[in-house]
Chain A
Amino acid sequence: MLTHNACLALGRRLTLLLLLVTSLLLAGQALAQSAGTEGELATAVPPVDAEIWRQVKSGENFIDTRHDSTYNLVNPSGETWRQIRNRWVSPFGLIAVGGMAALILMFYLIVGRKDLQEPRSGRKLLRWSTLERALHWTVATLFVVLALTGLNLLYGKFVFNPLLGDAVWAAMMSGTKLLHNYLGPIFGFLLIVILAKFLKKNIPDKTDWEWFKKGGGLIGKEHVDAHFANGGEKAWFWLLATAGVLVIASGLVMDFPNYGQSRDTMQWANVIHSLGALALTAVSLGHIYIGTIGTEGALEGMTTGYVDETWAKEHHNLWYEEVKDQAVTPDPSTEGHHKGQATHPPGTPG
């Protein structure tokens, strides 16, 4: 019995000891764990604070293992550019170009073509020389190609990709990009040439102010005074000389990315380029309308070089006064070819 009791007592003591040891061990582990946490915190990477975020965006105190990389860790302007392009430039560009087209269509349907009020005299005045016409149509063709390819780059994926399927679309886009990127610099060069050529005729003066006040003849019935170029033509000239030059400059920035320009520079170039180009495209619709179906007798000036005396009198009366004695009567046998140009006295405008 005694031995049995002794055994029980020993058992109890052992159990107690075991409990004690276990609890001690557990406590020790807990202690060690908290010490570890403290230890880790002491050597941890510092918390991400405003200063770190600033560095992450700016690329300061920063090295990158990528060859030739100038990229900061996070490019915060990318999202800004995306929002400007996708939420502002893209929809408002469509509104500008589409709105202009709709306005012109409405104007044509309601007001109609501006016809000559007097019958044609049959006598012609040289308005645009061969070189000027060649320059105009080259620049005009390039402009139309660049405008269409540019619009395709901005809006094409919503129209042609679902319409044509990936394979045709891919070919179309690579053609679009080649045309846009290679014709762009040629257009840029020729635009500078044509601007220089037409600069003298487009210096603004008092008559332009009057022209604008009378809305170019839209307000009231009478014709408004105009020299070789009227207020509207000068406005188009100066729009090309400002926005057009900006579009060319920004286009070159994006066209040749091999000069080390930064992403931010190219983002801004893209915004300037698309805004300028969309504005020019919208306004060009007006120029095309007025120069073709909008005005009787205007297009023949740029195709044949000659305008009818009556047209000159009605649209550019001050210019007509200067050159009226140089009017020629084309030989009916060469009508449309205007060989008369050779017999034309030197010093005619153009």
Chain B
Amino acid sequence: MATMKFMCDAERCIECNGCVTACKNANEVEWGIQRRRVVTLNDGEPTEVSISVACMHCDDAPCIAVCPTETLFKRDDGIVLHDKDMCIGCGYCLYACPFGAPQFPGTEAFGERGKMDKCTFCAGGPADSKEEEYEKYGANRIDEGKLPLCAEMCSTKALIAGDAQTVADIFRKRVVQRGHKDGAWSSTQRVGPQTSMDNLAFDATRQE
């Protein structure tokens, strides 16, 4: 079974916000909610770098672990979805999420958050009909054999989506090609002896 992942190549992201727009349009996300955002560090400086962030569909998702109603769940292909009928708007997923992915409309009385919304990897969510699914969660492109629209429309192919192994392979090729001294993944499965490829791996503990 494939494990679906997003990956944003900071080397390529030009902060065009095409992914943000594509997402809003594909999923008809409600007003005030933006499932994907582009974050820029050191804006305007020579070291400026941008990255597109949404739900990263974590393997050990903190949102699922803390949700008191089991609104959040993981599909077999690693996509983390949410069930709007279960959500009570407590906000715990937001407290726990490393990426600020869960958002709430917050338009109800007395400061109630309302039902949580987040990136679905364009895989919709639990509903009785296609129409209801689209209404609640937006597009189910995965069902149609397509990848998330944000990644499909990325003009520089900075944002890639798909099976983790494929995504990792694409990125690894890029890193080998451009010879970045510190910016690749090795493999999602680290088995066997260290190879020269492993030395290209990004290691947060190794400081320059």
Instruction: Report which A residues bind B (CB closer than 8 A).
Output: 37, 40-41, 44-50, 52-53, 55-56, 61-67, 69, 71-76, 78-79, 81-82, 85-86, 153-154, 156-157, 161, 166, 169-170, 173-174, 176-177, 181-182, 254-259, 263, 266-267, 270
- 5 tightest A-B contacts by CB? A71-B100, A258-B111, A47-B182, A37-B179, A66-B37
Task: Show 19 residue pairs from A and B whose CB-CB distance is below 8 angstroms, ordered by the A residue.
Answer: A41-B178, A41-B180, A47-B180, A47-B181, A47-B208, A63-B39, A65-B17, A65-B38, A67-B32, A73-B99, A75-B98, A81-B95, A81-B96, A86-B65, A153-B68, A153-B90, A166-B85, A169-B86, A266-B95
- Which residues on B sit within 8 Å (CB–CB) of A86? 65-66
Contact call A266/B178, Cβ cutoff below 8 A: no
- The dominant DSSP class at the A interface is helix
Which of B41, B53, B83 lies in contact with A61, CB distance below 8 A?
B41
Which residue from chain B places its CB closest to the CB of A86 in the assembled complex? B65
In the complex with contacts A65-B20, A79-B98, A73-B39 CB distance below 8 A:
yes
Which of B66, B91, B100 lies in contact with A257, CB distance below 8 A?
B91
- Residues facing A in B64-117 (CB within 8 A) are 65-70, 83, 85-86, 88-92, 94-100, 104, 106, 110-113
Distance in angstroms from B149 CB to nearest chain A CB is 17
Q: In the bound complex, what is the Cα–Cα distance between A189 and B104 (angstroms)?
A: 28
- Is B11's beta carbon under 8 Å from chain A? yes
Distance in angstroms from A262 CB to nearest chain B CB is 10
Q: In the bound complex, what is the Cα–Cα distance between A267 and B11 (angstroms)?
A: 34
- Is B201's beta carbon under 8 Å from chain A? no
Please tell me the size bucket of the interface on B: 35 or more
Q: In the bound complex, what is the Cα–Cα distance between A151 and B67 (angstroms)?
A: 14
Proximity bits, B11-32, A CB within 8 Å = 1, else 0: 1000101001000000000001
> How many A-B residue pairs lie within 8 Å, measured between CB atoms?
146
Interface centre among A41, A64, A82, A86 (most CB of B within 10 A): A82
In the complex with contacts A173-B86, A257-B106, A69-B62 CB distance below 8 A:
no
In the complex with contacts A47-B183, A254-B91, A63-B207 CB distance below 8 A:
no
Q: In the bound complex, what is the Cα–Cα distance between A170 and B83 (angstroms)?
A: 10
In the complex with contacts A63-B43, A153-B68, A170-B85 CB distance below 8 A:
yes
13 more contacts with CB within 8 A, not counting A64-B38, A169-B69, are A55-B42, A61-B42, A61-B45, A62-B39, A62-B41, A63-B43, A64-B40, A67-B34, A75-B99, A166-B83, A173-B88, A256-B111, A263-B94
Which of A53, A78, A154 lies in contact with B95, CB distance below 8 A?
A78
- Is B47's beta carbon under 8 Å from chain A? yes
